[in-house]
């Protein structure tokens, strides 16, 4: 039973009462005044969250992986070549999607735990012509955060015709993504991470340039995922294309209101403060950070075990003490755990987590100085 455990995996993140309350509101007609207000509200709020005036959000039932498909399928012509800039797991997934739909693509891959540099991106763009560049903002397997603004500048300099797509599933609403100012053409994301809503929605925000590209394509390899079928609904939610998940939309609207009530700058700042306190607390207990220090993301920490600590036993004990964290993915499996600290988590929850970590270490017979972790986070997160 995970019901009363504190969920500190890198998504889904804990969902606060206000959002759960909205999810439990009556299931109304998808073309009712309630949904008209709440879907339009969510669309407007998403624009604010990614700093766009002209971009058009698309919010549909699905998950981050559908948002990845929607982004690629709606802007790729048969003759196009896509460059996938990857830090690891989710870049590789983007390549699998491209393969599944016979989209011509190349992979520019960093070492795990690092990111592709601006110079490496520029060199690749000079070597070959690309019509689309896709990158993961934060790779949830490695904790590495890509320099999106620098990538956007590089693309503008070297390949200004190319459309720039950012996978913000582990970033949007927790780390800045300034769509208009930086020149991003599609930001794709999902409800369940930094935005603090339950899983169930795929979100893509398209720039006018990206929408024009879709309009120029005679056909795309998508039906449900076709932007042009959804645009009228997003512009006017009392139109029908396919029944939207009304309860999830009600919850998502509330979640976006919470994000904006906190204020985006405050929220980004809180993610930074929490991340650095958590890493200090863990290092005071003998853990270390897996990710290269030049590209640490504030939304999660990928943490190496000290010698003598077993991954499965540690996470099991932690679970018994009330906290769920995630194991490593791919080559890091068994060597690290992943601590998600994005969304609406609180100082009190972090202190609770450190208390649980210390209890777990103690019962596993690991030698450490009792209280150091809790004290470190407590002192760094003074209200
Ligand atoms: N991209 C990134 C960066 C992710 O972290 C994830 C999910 N962890 C996905 C895409 C896929 O999202 P979903 O699991 O919602 O399909």
pLDDT digits (tens, 9 = 90+) for 76-126: 999 999 999 999 899 999 999 999 999 999 999 999 999 999 999 999 999
Query: Is the pTM for the entire model greater than 0.85?
Result: yes
Is the pLDDT score of 383 beyond 70?
Answer: no
The DSSP output letter for 172 is B
In angstroms, what is the span from residue 65 Cα to ligand 1's centroid? Answer: 6
Sign (positive or negative) of CA dihedral 58, 59, 64, 65: negative
In angstroms, what is the span from residue 291 Cα to ligand 1's centroid? Answer: 18
In angstroms, what is the span from residue 90 Cα to ligand 1's centroid? Answer: 7
Chain-centroid distance, C-alpha 54: 22
- Residue of 7, 60, 134, 140 to mutate, ligand 1, most atoms within 8 A of C-beta: 140
In this prediction, residue 382 carries a pLDDT of 84
CA distance 309 to 323: 17
- Residue of 148, 172, 175, 190 to mutate, ligand 1, most atoms within 8 A of C-beta: 190
Which residue minimizes the CA distance to atom 14 of ligand 1? 64
In this prediction, residue 264 carries a pLDDT of 98
Q: Can you count the helices (H) and strands (E) in the chain?
A: 14, 15
Report the nearest atom of ligand 1 relative to the CA of 11.
8
Which residue minimizes the CA distance to atom 12 of ligand 1? 64
In this prediction, residue 2 carries a pLDDT of 66
- Residue of 11, 60, 64 to mutate, ligand 1, most atoms within 8 A of C-beta: 64
In this prediction, residue 68 carries a pLDDT of 98
Q: Name the average pLDDT for the chain.
A: 97
Residue 340: strand pairing partners: 300
In angstroms, what is the span from residue 140 Cα to ligand 1's centroid? Answer: 8
Is the pLDDT score of 21 beyond 80?
Answer: yes
Residue 213 near residue 234, CB atoms below 8 Å: no
pLDDT digits (tens, 9 = 90+) for 135-155: 999 999 999 999 999 999 999
* pLDDT > 90: percent of the chain: 96
Residue ranges around ligand 1 (CB below 6 Å)? 11, 63-65, 68, 90, 136, 140, 167, 169-170, 190
Residue 332 near residue 112, CB atoms below 8 Å: yes
CA distance 272 to 104: 37
**Tally of CB atoms within 10 A around 89:** 17
Mean pLDDT to the nearest integer, 258-287: 98
């Amino acid at each position: 039973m995970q019901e009363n455990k504190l969920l500190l995996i890198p998504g889904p993140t804990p969902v606060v009462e206000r959002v759960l309350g909205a999810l439990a509101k009556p299931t109304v007609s998808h073309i009712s005044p309630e949904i008209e207000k709440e879907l339009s509200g969510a669309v407007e709020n998403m624009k604010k969250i990614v700093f766009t005036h002209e971009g058009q959000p698309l919010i549909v039932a699905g998950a981050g992986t559908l948002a990845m498909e929607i982004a690629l399928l709606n802007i790729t012509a048969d003759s196009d070549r896509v460059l996938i800039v990857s830090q690891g797991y989710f870049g590789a997934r983007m390549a699998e999607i491209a393969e599944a739909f016979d989209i011509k693509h190349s992979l520019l891959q960093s070492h795990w735990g690092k990111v592709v540099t601006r110079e490496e991106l520029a060199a690749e763009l000079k070597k070959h012509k690309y019509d689309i560049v896709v990158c993961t903002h934060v790779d949830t397997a490695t904790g590495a955060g890509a320099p999106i603004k620098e990538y956007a500048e590089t693309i503008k300099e070297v390949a200004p015709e190319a459309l720039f797509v950012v996978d913000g599933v582990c970033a949007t609403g927790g780390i800045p993504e300034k769509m208009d100012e930086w020149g991003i053409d599609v930001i794709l994301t999902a409800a369940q991470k930094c935005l603090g809503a339950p899983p169930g929605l795929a979100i893509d925000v398209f720039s006018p340039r990206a929408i024009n590209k879709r309009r120029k394509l005679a056909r795309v390899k998508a039906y449900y995922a076709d932007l042009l079928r959804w645009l009228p609904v997003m512009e006017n939610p009392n139109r029908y294309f396919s029944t939207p998940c009304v309860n999830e939309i009600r919850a998502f609207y509330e979640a976006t209101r919470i994000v904006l009530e906190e204020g985006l700058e405050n929220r980004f700042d809180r993610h930074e403060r929490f991340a650095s306190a958590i890493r200090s607390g863990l290092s005071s207990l003998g853990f270390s950070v897996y990710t290269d220090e030049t590209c640490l993301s504030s939304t999660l920490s990928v943490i190496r075990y000290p010698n003598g600590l077993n991954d499965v036993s540690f996470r099991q004990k932690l679970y018994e003490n009330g906290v769920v964290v995630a194991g490593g993915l791919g080559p890091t499996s068994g060597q690290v755990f992943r601590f998600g600290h994005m969304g609406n988590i609180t100082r009190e929850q972090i202190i609770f987590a450190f208390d649980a970590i210390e209890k777990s270490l103690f019962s596993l017979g690991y030698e450490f100085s009792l209280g150091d972790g809790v004290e470190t986070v407590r002192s760094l997160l003074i209200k």
